[in-house]
Amino acid sequence: MQMKREHHVHFWYFVLAFLAVLAIEQILGRPSDVKTIPYNEFLTLLQEHKIKDLVIGQYDITGGFITAEKGEPSKFLTQRVDPALAAELKQSGVTFSGEASPGLLANVLAWFMPVLLFVLLWMFLVRPAATGGGMGGLFAVGKSRAKIYAESDVPVRFSDVAGVDEAKAELEEIVSFLKDPKRYSRLGAHIPKGILLVGPPGTGKTLLARAVAGEAGVPFFSIAGSEFVEMFVGVGAARVRDLFKQARERAPSIVFIDELDALGRARSGFMGPSGGHDEKEQTLNQLLAELDGFDPSLGVVLLGATNRPEILDPALLRAGRFDRQVLVDRPDKKGRIEILKLHIRKVQLAGGVSIEDIAALTPGFTGADLANLVNEAALLATRRNAEEVTFHDFEQAVERIVAGLEKRNRLLNAHERTVVAHHEMGHALVAMTLPGTDAVQKVSIIPRGLGALGYTIQRPLEDRYLLDRRELLNRMAVLLGGRAAESVIFGEISTGAADDLAKVTDIARNMVVRFGMDPRLGQVTYEPQRQTILQSPIDWQPRQYGEETATAIDDAVRDLVDGAYARARAILVANEKVLREAARVLLEKETLSAAEISAITGPLAAPPALPAPSEALPAA
């Protein structure tokens, strides 16, 4: 590569030197004692016999003056004119001369510039296309943009990945095959052609793929699915071919396609106005053909990652293409502890800070969320010029990530602050009264995030994967506790419960249409099948039930919400005195911890009994 670059430099030195020589010749080529005269003056001097030593060329006539005054040029130059025309012009008495002949520089450039232009086009457009380098070249649109990492360029190992032990165990087999393919082929087995990493954003799918390449020590081809799709039809398919060609040439190797859903979205039977399929479908078809065509014994392994597996084309997921799907899910508490240990290694942690307690604060956090949490805690400690990061910094960081930034400059009037205080204490008291709900950790009326005038943070006691009907109804009552408190104290309701109502409605509708928790509608799911893609009107499917059932669903959802609101209001009516006192203290301190709330409330009145599923739910 260095020698090629030196050849380019030498070529341009030659071109510049050649042009410089031509320019110098043009400037210095003619002597200074030559005088250019008009052609009619030449004819007059000729008749007066004042010139000598004529040299007649095709365009020019040169000669010398017989008598030249001292200090004047001794030679002349003029441009020829047609003799017949010259005679007529001379009779008219006008000054005339011919067109000057092109100089050496003009003659050379006339034939040299087209050649130079062709060389430039070849060097900067055509040649990079052939080699795949430069800015892509004129014809490089079909070249793969995959970044190639050599073994030393992928420093990530499985020890750098935590919280996804099941996924690591699946991928360790791939590493073992790439290192020792004969061990697997001796019994006729072959490695899966494609492995799809599925999971929510931020769970470490890309990190896992890099760890596989780092452990195996093989070339790693990484590209995003969106980079295959271009404006011109056929370009993406060409890039797919080029990518697999590079991978075969450097086998054993790993090809990693991130955000596979951008490339592998389900195809539609609808054809566009031109009668053909679009660029994405052609690119997907080429990917399917490549997966069918390459020999897995070569050691080329395809890894894909997506957080939307439901929209992928079924042909892409069948056996023989993506043979195996590996779930990379949100980590449980044990996984969060392992991830936090990785990131806290770079942080100066205060004594007594328990990583287990930090993990308990973060249910539902992904690996990326936890990395961000540790960084935010370290930044908070830095802002207050601390030498160590304390548990309080982690608590503040969790609130910042979950609820948003504090906005103390958002000034509320006295009535609004009072409403917000009772609203948030309504959430807290209902949560503290109902069994099985998440423990209240903090209540605040300091505005945060986008439009949040206050917040109530609950801390789950453990990771939950199944919820029964009673627990869902209790969660709905907690969400409606804020609005119920406004109704009990002020006799009015405000717009502050908009987000609570949206969440409650979503829970109630899922209970009815997905979980079969309404006895009047039976053990049936009414949610329509999730549409993978809506590319045309013919892909749309109507709901699978009639108007009477739709009305029954709406009634059931409304009954669940009304029943949850009635329970929340009954709890707060029974504890109205405690509600008023807790809200008064909250207005003074702005933030209350769980211990402070418990000290104010003391024992709370028992909640009303939950009605049986077959009973009619009470109205508000």
* Cα–Cα dist 515/525, whole Å: 7
Are 476 and 377 a contacting pair, CB within 8 Å? no
Alpha helices in 29-134 (DSSP H): 39-47, 83-92, 104-121, 127-131
The residue among 317, 318, 358 whose CA lies nearest residue 340 is: 358
Backbone φ and ψ for 317, nearest 5 degrees, come out as -95, -5
Radius of gyration of the CA atoms of the chain, in A: 41
Q: Smallest Cα–Cα separation from 327: which of 357, 341, 312, 307?
A: 307
Residues whose CB is less than 8 angstroms from the CB of residue 276 and which lie 6 or more positions away in sequence, other chains included: 233
Q: Which residues contact 438 (CB under 8 A, 6 or more apart)?
A: 431, 458, 459, 460, 461
Q: Which residues form the catalytic set?
A: 424
Residue 493 burial by CB count (10 A; 0-12/13-18/19+): exposed, middle or buried? middle
CA distance 187 to 313: 32
In this structure, are strands 322-327 and 220-224 parallel, antiparallel, or unpaired? unpaired
Closest CA to 529 of 539, 538, 517: 539
Smallest Cα–Cα separation from 453: which of 600, 590, 255? 590
Query: Mapped to the 3 state alphabet, what secondary structure does 411-471 carry?
Result: CCCHHHHHHHHHHHHHHHHHHHHCCCCCEEEEEECCCECCCECCEEEEECCCCCCCCCHHH
Does 181 sit behind a cis peptide bond, omega within 30 degrees of 0 on the bond before it? no
Q: Name the strand (E) or helix (H) holding 301.
A: strand 300-306
CA angle 235, 239, 240 (to 5 degrees): 120
Pairing of strands 253-258, 455-459: unpaired
Q: Report DSSP letters for 260-290, one per residue.
A: THHHHBPP-S---TTSS--HHHHHHHHHHHH
Q: Which residue has the tokens 């509600």?
A: 579
Report helix angle 2-28 to 104-121, nearest 10. 160
